[in-house]
Amino acid sequence: MAAPIINTGTCLYIEAMKAVAYRQNLPIEHADSLLDVELPDPPRPTGHDLRVRVQAVSVNPLDTKVRRGSAPPDGQFKVLGWDASGFVESVGDAVTSLRAGDRVWYAGDITRPGSNAELQLVDERIASRMPATLDYAQAAALPLTAITAWELLFTRLGVTSETEGSLLIVGAAGGVGSILTQLARRLTRLTVIGTASRPSTQAWVRELGAHHVIDHGRPLAAELRSIGIDAVTHVASLTQTDLHYPQLVEALAPQGRLGLIDDPQGVLDIRLLKSKSLSLHWEMMFTRSRYRTSDMAEQGALLARVGALIDDGTLRGTLGENFGRINATNLKRGHALIESGTAQGKIVLEGF
């Protein structure tokens, strides 16, 4: 990506921005797993693009997955980050919904450079104005998980405000689970059962509104029976689907729906779904931006709706810990905590 060349009258220089990036796939403990670098500024936006000055970011499991498994071309840097808040510096000629100066939040596009940089280009159709009641750090904790949870619940699983039944959320204390629990409890008639394995995370899930909390470290059918539930109509499996899959099939009522967002190891035997006529639904929040689907703007509209629900008190933020400034040292801490599997809520960083 070419950077603008500025003529000062005496010399030429390329505008550069601070960023955190990597060159090779390394364990997070390695000194070079993430690096503080300077990269050329992104160009002036065209088309539907916004150029955003990033103010805060959050860390998601996706960041660690890409860092471990997707190497940039030799000699090049790859910038991670798919959650951000900031303000619009300039807009492309096709932009209609936002303007310079607007405070925005978004989860970005996995095919483009990420948000761990001072400046980023993002399509207006997958961004929205930030909730008025949140600061930049609080706002950065929500976009990716809110989009994922909303699409999983309402688009993939087909739940509406009138849907009755029960929803089992496996991994309810994590980032997606924290917002999904609230959406299901506040906006639907479903009985919400969240899973969490530690006292602190179980308390968190109850605080978010789950009707019941069970331990996914124990047999799920027995855990459900202990709260008087024989079967559930919907399952949102957010983590370790491969470990729980047979139990999830057992827990689902006939004609139930199973949704998942993770990457199960090995092969899921879909034949297990047949006798109960169960359906399987996968959610990948980057599908719309990656394939430029005709309904791509639904993500911007979705974020605007979530923002309104935050502002009117229906939903609450899910910020867990603020790790300080956006730099390699602090992002390494965030990646390490995510990889430990013990994160509660979202990890955010703000300012360069």
Domains of the chain, start order: 5-142+317-350 (3.90.180.10), 149-282 (3.40.50.720)
14 pLDDT band (50/70/90 cuts)?
low
Element (H, E) at 204: helix 199-208
The SS3 of residue 327 is coil
CA dihedral 330, 331, 332, 336 (to 10 degrees): 110
Beta bridge partners of 169: 194, 236
- pTM here is 0.92
Task: Decide if pLDDT at 4 tops 80.
Answer: no
Q: 115 pLDDT exceeds 50?
A: yes
Question: Where do we find the tokens 């950065």?
Answer: 140
Token pair listed for 146: 């809110």
Strand partners, 59: 347
Token output for 195: 């899973």
| Among 184, 181, 193, 180, CA closest to 160 | 184
pLDDT (0 to 100) of residue 84: 98
Q: What is the mean pLDDT of residues 103-130?
A: 98
Residue 66 gets the label, from left (phi > 0), alpha (psi -120 to 50) or beta, of: alpha
Span 131-145, average pLDDT: 97
The reported pLDDT for the residue numbered 345 is 76
pLDDT at 5 over 60: no
As a whole number, mean pLDDT of residues 34-63 equals 97
Backbone dihedral region for residue 324 (phi beyond 0: left; psi -120 to 50: alpha; all else: beta) = left
108 phi-psi bin (left φ>0, alpha ψ -120 to 50, beta other): left
Confidence of residue 2 (pLDDT cuts 50, 70, 90): very low
Reported as a single tens digit per residue, the pLDDT across 292-326 is 999 999 999 999 999 999 999 999 998 989 999 99
